[in-house]
Structure 1
Amino acid sequence: MQNRRSALGRVLTTAACAALVLATGSALAADNYPSKPIRLVVPYPAGGGTDIIARLMGTQLSQRWGQPVIVDNKPGASGMMGNDLVAKAPGDGYTVLLGITALVQIPALYKKVPYQLSDLAPVSQAVKSADLVFVPRSSGITSLQQFVAKAKAQPGKLNYGSYGNATSSHLHGEQLKLKAGIDMVHVPYQGSGPEMAAMLGGQLESAFIDAAAAYPHIKSDKVSILAVTGAQRHPALPDVPTMAEAGYSGFEANGWFGYFVPASTPQPIVDKLGNELAAIVKMPEISKRLLDMGLIPVGSTPAEFKPLLARDAAHWKSIVDAAKISMD
């Protein structure tokens, strides 16, 4: 019996020592991090909102840490190509992803996804975004209730624009159809820019357009904004009600842009990177730049970002399932 206890004691001691070595190694790795250039993967083309945020914050991170931050655009497969690249990268903190809301929507929309969400560790939510509900000013409609009444009176006759199939705007349009009991035709565009142009040109009867793309046009006399998605009113549009205030709950989830690293990355490195990115977002000049883009600065910690991802994944899946949307 004494021998068995001694053996057990040696095992526990060895395990404790191993854990201590791992913890010490992780702490030392974080102390030395970063010691070489950081690759910041953007899973969308250059010139878009994700790319602009990456370069804006990457420049600041490089200046603060004294290491180059190289933005690497890897578009393709609705963002899955870039997401997968980071998910399968070494967990050393030198390959970082700037992802968007689509990251948690993709598993519900596509049957074949080359990675799991659990392959990525959340680092920091940089900003929140929202979709705005537009109608032509010439329609005379001034509230979401009026628009819904018109759609009910003309089933299948009105359309709504989105900035692409399987995007948040597409899901919001289908969600409104389900919530309000209306029938509208979906008109997808290749991005918010062409969608906004179509709305200004009078080619759409309604549209969900992201606030960043719509921001330069929110004062246009050609359009009216009926509501905004998200839990709070948009700071640039204090007089525009949220979807819930306009009579339709369930649109409280905001879009977001956030940073991720491979799940194998030591937590001290995740925390160090997250704290630095959060501090950059909260710099007055950076916050102003983001606000001027129509975005809402956040700058969260990894612990704050993680539960948001779980809630949003469940939220978007419920909409995809109810609307029977599939991209396969």
Structure 2
Amino acid sequence: MNLLKSKKLLVGLMMLACSTFIAGCGGSEDKSASGTDVDSYPNKPITMIVTHAAGGDTDYNARLLARLLEEELGQPVVPNNVTGANGSIALEQYKDGDTDGYTIIATNTAALSGNEATGLSDFSYKDFEPVALYGKQAGENIVVRADSPYNNIQELIDASKANPNQLKFGVSMGGGVYVASVILDKEAGAKFTVVDTGDAANRLTALLGGHIDATSIPYSTAKEYIESGQLKTLGSLLSERPSMLPDIPTANETVKDLSVDTLYVVLAPKGTDPAVVEKLNKAIANVVNNNKEYKENVEKMNFQSPWVLSVQDTIKELDAQREHFMKYKEFLQ
């Protein structure tokens, strides 16, 4: 748990270093959205803050959505990556920002809920105005090198029990993958040494290089390595098998509660006019449900089926995931 404490300290130092920048980029004196003309909204460019680095799945989904939202809304939607601490830097910086609807945040729910459950951040989705859940990741997959003797999740768990703390499981501290490692411990009795190896790209490199024995990375990241015979997947962390990958078993088929649904979500600063939120939700829903280019891209690049929820259903889903993660709060902090 020293790794998590170190990362919390780093977050605090980063936030302190950014304080002057935040003061310049935060909200105006008037935090109300009363001045927003909903009928003419939007009438200027919208900034979309992306909480994770360029090239990852959160960034890919956000940029695709932003580009197609421009056509839907008639105004530029400009992505801006503000990274650090598994998304918590950007979320902390913008949760109390301008409420006029011209700054929105794109993140993923595993980071949002995981950061709160681990104590990396002290806020939840309730500190924002949820706009829309607009996509489901094809699933974090528990993967091992192809020459590994383990062919399913149970074999990996059994090996960790037979050799306590000898097998290294790579995670990103504070995120959903770290939550999954705790569930493996508490629900299945797994005995891994949990190693903070950073984001999915770094976890992949560490696994291929033999620095860790297993990890979890998005299927879209692992696919070419699985197909080339360098890695094998033992199962997905999704709560149910995705329609596009029905042959990959879910981890919760082996271990009850071992699921982490990574969903992509757009948030607005707390206090944003509900009418603006609804207008944005409808625009996002139209892109996801009816734009052929969107469908082709998410299916081809991320193995996702188009999926989007209303504002109210988004809130319900966010609440359900938060409850699932917070069950393990005492073991995560």
Measured against aligned partners, the alpha-carbon deviations of 1:263-302 in whole angstroms (never above 9, x if no partner) come to: 3122221111011112212323212312333353322111
2:147 to 131, 138, 145: 138
TM-superposed CA distance for 1:109, in Å, is: 2.1
Q: Any conservation in 2 of the 1:128–1:295 contact (CA below 8 Å)?
A: no
Secondary structure, aligned partner of 1:29: coil
Secondary structure, aligned partner of 1:248: coil
- Higher Rg: 1
Distance in 1 (CA, whole Å) between partners of 2:74 and 2:103 is 17
TM-superposed CA distance for 1:52, in Å, is: 2.3
Q: Any conservation in 2 of the 1:228–1:234 contact (CA below 8 Å)?
A: no
Q: Any conservation in 1 of the 2:112–2:124 contact (CA below 8 Å)?
A: no
Q: How many residues align?
A: 297
Q: Any conservation in 2 of the 1:215–1:294 contact (CA below 8 Å)?
A: no
Q: Any conservation in 1 of the 2:142–2:215 contact (CA below 8 Å)?
A: yes
1:165 to 173, 186, 192: 173
Secondary structure, aligned partner of 1:226: strand
Q: Which residue of 2 aligns with 1:150?
A: 159
1:280 to 287, 294, 301: 287
Q: 2:203 matched to 1:195?
A: yes
Q: Which residue of 2 aligns with 1:181?
A: 189
Q: Which residue of 1 aligns with 2:65?
A: 57
Secondary structure, aligned partner of 1:46: coil
TM-superposed CA distance for 1:320, in Å, is: 3.0
2:80 to 69, 72, 77: 72
Secondary structure, aligned partner of 1:31: coil
Q: Any conservation in 2 of the 1:279–1:299 contact (CA below 8 Å)?
A: no
Measured against aligned partners, the alpha-carbon deviations of 1:187-245 in whole angstroms (never above 9, x if no partner) come to: 22221112112323344322111223223323231222111112211344322211122
1:224 to 222, 229, 232: 232
Q: TM-score, normalised by structure 1?
A: 0.83
Distance in 1 (CA, whole Å) between partners of 2:182 and 2:221 is 21
Q: Which residue of 2 aligns with 1:95?
A: 103
Q: Which residue of 2 aligns with 1:120?
A: 128
Secondary structure, aligned partner of 2:37: helix
Q: 2:250 matched to 1:249?
A: no
Distance in 2 (CA, whole Å) between partners of 1:242 and 1:33 is 42
Distance in 2 (CA, whole Å) between partners of 1:195 and 1:253 is 17
Q: Which residue of 1 aligns with 2:24?
A: none
Distance in 2 (CA, whole Å) between partners of 1:239 and 1:111 is 35
Aligned letter for 2:270? Answer: A
Q: Which residue of 1 aligns with 2:315?
A: 306
Q: Which residue of 1 aligns with 2:51?
A: 43
Q: Any conservation in 2 of the 1:137–1:224 contact (CA below 8 Å)?
A: yes
Distance in 2 (CA, whole Å) between partners of 1:91 and 1:308 is 23
Distance in 1 (CA, whole Å) between partners of 2:276 and 2:296 is 28
Distance in 2 (CA, whole Å) between partners of 1:125 and 1:43 is 15
298-307 vs 51-60, which moves further: 51-60
Q: Any conservation in 1 of the 2:153–2:234 contact (CA below 8 Å)?
A: yes
Task: Give the direction of change, closer, same or farther, for the CA distance of 1:243–1:39 in structure 2 (3 Å limit).
Answer: same
Measured against aligned partners, the alpha-carbon deviations of 1:53-77 in whole angstroms (never above 9, x if no partner) come to: 2221111111222211121222234
Measured against aligned partners, the alpha-carbon deviations of 1:29-71 in whole angstroms (never above 9, x if no partner) come to: 3211111111111123333332222221111111222211121
1:263 to 250, 255, 270: 270
Q: 2:215 matched to 1:207?
A: yes
Secondary structure, aligned partner of 1:260: strand
TM-superposed CA distance for 1:78, in Å, is: 3.3
Distance in 2 (CA, whole Å) between partners of 1:134 and 1:242 is 13
Distance in 2 (CA, whole Å) between partners of 1:201 and 1:237 is 27
RMSD, aligned α-carbons: 2.3
Distance in 2 (CA, whole Å) between partners of 1:219 and 1:142 is 16
Q: Any conservation in 1 of the 2:117–2:328 contact (CA below 8 Å)?
A: no
Q: Which residue of 1 aligns with 2:114?
A: 105
Secondary structure, aligned partner of 2:47: strand
Unaligned runs of at least 5 residues, structure 2: 1-32
Task: Give the direction of change, closer, same or farther, for the CA distance of 1:199–1:234 in structure 2 (3 Å limit).
Answer: farther
Task: Give the direction of change, closer, same or farther, for the CA distance of 1:235–1:243 in structure 2 (3 Å limit).
Answer: same
Q: Which residue of 2 aligns with 1:294?
A: 302
Distance in 2 (CA, whole Å) between partners of 1:111 and 1:128 is 24
Distance in 2 (CA, whole Å) between partners of 1:27 and 1:274 is 20
